[in-house]
Amino acid sequence: MSETMAMMAKHARECAEEIRKFEEIQLVSHIDADGITSAAIISKALERAGIGSEMMFVKQLDEAIVEKLADMNPELTIFTDLGSGQLEHINNYGVHAIVSDHHRPQGENKFHLNPHLFGANGSYEISGSGTTFILATQLGNNRDLADLAIVGCVGDMQYRKHGKLVSLNRMILEANPSVISPKKDISLFGKQTRPVYKMIQYSSDPFIPGLTGNEDACIDFLAKIGLQFSNDEKWRRWIDLSEEEKTRVTSSLLQYSMQNGMSSYNIGRLVSEGYILLEEQEGTEMRDASEYSTLLNAAGRYMKAEVGMQVCMGNRDGAYREAQDLLQNHRKNLVDGLNFVRDNGITELSNLQYFDAGSVIPETIVGIVAGMSHYSTGNRKLPIIAFADKDDGYKVSARGTQELVNRGLNLAEALSIVCQELGGAGGGHDIAAGATVPFGKKEEFIQKLNSTIATQLIKT
Ligand code: C5P
Ligand code: C5P
Ligand code: ZN
């Protein structure tokens, strides 16, 4: 066990001791896949320890929600996958709290479990679900929940930096081989559930010129390499192919990519490590950590986080079917969002690029659309900033690249500096962050963010 893991486990033990003093606990978690898996992990751990709990999911934690919580006056609140950026509010309102999170810390708290406090980076070494898994292992024998911990960090794209899970995530993965297993395979999304041609058609990371977004070209590509892609009128999925067929598709795709001007970096991304949930049924979203996390996002980001949580708690009937319906809607919204960005364009300044989705793209998914557009329409040399309308101001979502982070970019820090000057609140990670900015201050915000980022970047 690494020193960081040992230190986190030690602090988790102290948090667990505090938790055991209470019979009924308020839980607050984030609505995305990492937040939902965190919520399921802590709920199961408490249930097994005979402690009651009440769940509350929020889009983000802000002062108003902390105030509302303080009015409810729970004896103890456990925040998962959020809270680290709002410790000041939590303390000011006297909320007795355990915070199990991986966002950039702002403020202090006695029971604050966060990788940044132990020298680890919460954008790729461990997520909210992994942090909460460490807490759960101190509450009892909960190692079987490691699969949910991995689904959460995959949902937060923590594999992106190295093309696979590393550090604390890797330790959680490798220590629990009976529930979760890594597998090197084609990186495209949908291996368990989607017809092979659709898997190629919807490839966004990497973007495959000529194939991404072009259904006919994908069907043609498979026909040309002699792949019989239907069986009894049914489209075959990746898992239905033989090993020989999988190799044929992968190598033909690599060859196609080389001939069609893809960068060697992107070609390398066509094959990567995936994560299989061994106790889940083949051919379902839950078998593959990436598909599972998208299913959860499809529920949570449309205010149906409880549905996702029920799936994590084992529901394979009503909640699972509802989540599948939500997934159809989510996919359509992502495609519409990407088309909006392509059609309306992105404005470039010296140190960032931005687009404003107004009310066309829901603010809860504008960050995902910004991240995906960054691989297609966007310029990878600049961070991408997206705006979308919400009730109390503009929602801002910012996404960078590893190369920019290596040069000093820290989006969480930049957003929080600018928000301090203009009003609003922001936070997150170096490579991906978000904020709410008051109406009427968009232009000023963009200019200030552009110059703040300029001071972060070391010119190369
Ligand atoms: O709130 P949270 O920590 O869950 O969100 C992390 C966000 O950072 C996700 O939206 C994820 O897609 C993004 N991310 C990214 N690139 C990375 C790591 C994370 O865009 N390399
Ligand atoms: O919402 P979005 O996906 O853009 O969020 C990116 C990252 O920034 C996430 O980790 C999210 O939790 C964080 N965030 C934040 N404060 C906000 C909005 C987002 O810390 N006001
Ligand atoms: Zn998270």
For ligand 1, whether the C-beta of 125 sits within 6 Å is no
For ligand 2, whether the C-beta of 433 sits within 6 Å is yes
Q: How far is the CA of 217 from the centre of ligand 3 (A)?
A: 36
CA-based R_g, the chain, Å: 22
Q: Kindly report the protein residue whose alpha carbon is nearest to atom 14 of ligand 2.
A: 434
The pTM (predicted TM-score) of the whole model is 0.95
* Cα–Cα distance measured from residue 309 to residue 80, given in angstroms and rounded to the nearest whole number: 13
Pairing of strands 432-437, 97-100: unpaired
For ligand 2, whether the C-beta of 157 sits within 6 Å is no
* Cα–Cα distance measured from residue 362 to residue 218, given in angstroms and rounded to the nearest whole number: 29
DSSP state, residue 386: E
For ligand 2, whether the C-beta of 19 sits within 6 Å is no
For ligand 2, whether the C-beta of 103 sits within 6 Å is yes
- Give the ligand with the smallest distance to the CA of 153: 3
For ligand 2, whether the C-beta of 426 sits within 6 Å is yes
For ligand 1, whether the C-beta of 432 sits within 6 Å is yes
Ligand 1 atom closest to Cα of residue 160: 21
Q: Are 380 and 401 within 8 A, CB to CB?
A: yes
For ligand 2, whether the C-beta of 367 sits within 6 Å is yes
Ligand 2 atom closest to Cα of residue 425: 21
CA angle 328–371–304, rounded 5-degree value: 40
369: tokens are: 């659309």
* Cα–Cα distance measured from residue 174 to residue 16, given in angstroms and rounded to the nearest whole number: 24
Residues linked to residue 98 through DSSP beta bridges, in sequence order: 78
Class of residue 364 by CB neighbours under 10 A (exposed 0-12, middle 13-18, buried 19+): buried
Residues linked to residue 426 through DSSP beta bridges, in sequence order: 435
Please list the pLDDT of the chain residue by residue as tens digits (460 residues). 699 999 999 999 999 999 999 999 999 999 999 999 999 999 999 999 999 999 999 999 999 999 999 999 999 999 999 999 999 999 999 999 999 999 999 999 999 999 999 999 999 999 999 999 999 999 999 999 999 999 999 999 999 999 999 999 999 999 999 999 999 999 999 999 999 999 999 998 888 999 998 999 999 999 999 987 676 667 899 999 999 999 999 999 999 999 999 999 889 999 999 999 999 999 999 999 999 999 999 999 999 999 999 999 999 999 999 999 999 999 999 999 999 999 999 999 999 999 999 999 999 999 999 999 998 889 999 999 999 999 999 999 999 999 999 999 999 999 999 999 999 999 999 999 999 999 999 999 999 999 999 999 986 6
Q: How far is the CA of 368 from the centre of ligand 1 (A)?
A: 9
For ligand 1, whether the C-beta of 399 sits within 6 Å is yes
For ligand 1, whether the C-beta of 33 sits within 6 Å is no
- The residue whose CB lies within 8 Å of the most ligand 1 atoms, and thus the one to mutate among 36, 37, 123, is 123
DSSP state, residue 55: E
Ligand 1 atom closest to Cα of residue 397: 10
Q: Are 178 and 56 within 8 A, CB to CB?
A: no
Q: Are 358 and 439 within 8 A, CB to CB?
A: no
Q: How far is the CA of 108 from the centre of ligand 3 (A)?
A: 19
DSSP state, residue 3: H
Q: Kindly report the protein residue whose alpha carbon is nearest to atom 21 of ligand 2.
A: 435
Which residue shows structure tokens 């194939």?
Answer: 211
Q: How far is the CA of 343 from the centre of ligand 3 (A)?
A: 31
The protein residues having their C-beta less than 5 angstroms from ligand 3 (an ion) are: 34, 81, 127-128, 156
